[in-house]
Amino acid sequence: MDISDNINAIKAQLPEGVTLIAVSKTKPEADIMQAYNGGQRVFGENKAQEMKQKHENLPEDIQWHFIGHLQENKIKYIINYVTMIHSVDSLKLLAEINKRAAMCNRTVDCLFEMDISHEASKFGLSREELCMLLESETFKTLGNVRICGLMGIGSITQDRNQTRKEFKQLREMFVCIKEKYFADKPYFKEISMGMTGDYDIAVEEGATFVRIGSKIFGQRNYAV
């Protein structure tokens, strides 16, 4: 299995305007370097300390996207280099990211993670929670975060119609939130959805980022 070939095969299927995030969580730096040497620059990780380690050891021009659940006390491991945080699911977390970003003189791009699957194991906001957050006084004071769009994780299911329904719903929420709160913000344009098993559906339903791990790097072994 050649990592670069896998990436090229996926990229050949993606329309213009859809960015591939190579999800390298749990994978060794040598695997990332194979992808890098084939031209891939955008990578996704879901653990802050793991991302920090890889960022320190790997080339400077890699764009690191944080896609996992982020604990406030771990923000410090990623804040000074992260390209985008896909998983903001509370005002408290966003305010903490803002505070840390201000401390290193950055404005950090963020997405709100929306709960589209309603699976107990997953995180994310409802549409109502997001509206309340965006209308809060605190939100208006956050000058060191830039909200670029929404992210969602589809259900674990073989039912592709269910997955499609969830992705459609995320896109509808995106359109509605954009209209209501970000109409004059051209950078609010991203929809992050789709993984190895469902990225084809996500692309059809309007994804601008797909997050693909196993199809590029092979199955993950969490026992290591």
Q: Which residues contact 29 (CB under 8 A, 6 or more apart)?
A: 54, 57, 58
Instruction: Kindly tell me which of 142 and 201 has the beta carbon lying closer to ligand PLP.
Output: 201
Among 23, 48, 51, 177, binds ligand PLP (CB under 6 A): 23
Nearer to ligand PLP, 122 or 178 (CB): 122
CB of 151 to ligand PLP, least distance (A): 8
Q: How far is CA 194 from CA 20, 38, 77, 118, 168, in A?
A: 10, 22, 26, 16, 12
Residue in 48, 88, 207, 212 binding ligand PLP, rule: CB under 6 A = 212
Which residues, numbered 26-65, are part of the site for ligand PLP (CB under 6 A)?
46
Query: Is 114 among the residues that bind ligand PLP (CB under 6 A)?
Result: no
Q: Is 67 in the site for ligand PLP (CB under 6 A)?
A: yes
Tell which positions 126-165 bind ligand PLP, by CB under 6 A: 153
Residue nearest to ligand PLP (CB): 213
DSSP 62: P
Residue 214 binds ligand PLP (CB under 6 A): yes
Q: What is the dihedral of CA 90, 52, 61, 98, to 10 degrees?
A: 30
Among 170, 195, 201, 203, binds ligand PLP (CB under 6 A): 195
Helix (H) / strand (E) element for 190: namely: strand 190-192
Residue burial 152-188, b: 16+ Cβ < 10 Å; e: rest: bbbbeeeeeeebbbbbeebbebbeebeeebbeeeeeb
Contact positions vs ligand PLP (CB under 6 A): 23, 25, 46, 67-68, 153, 195-197, 211-215
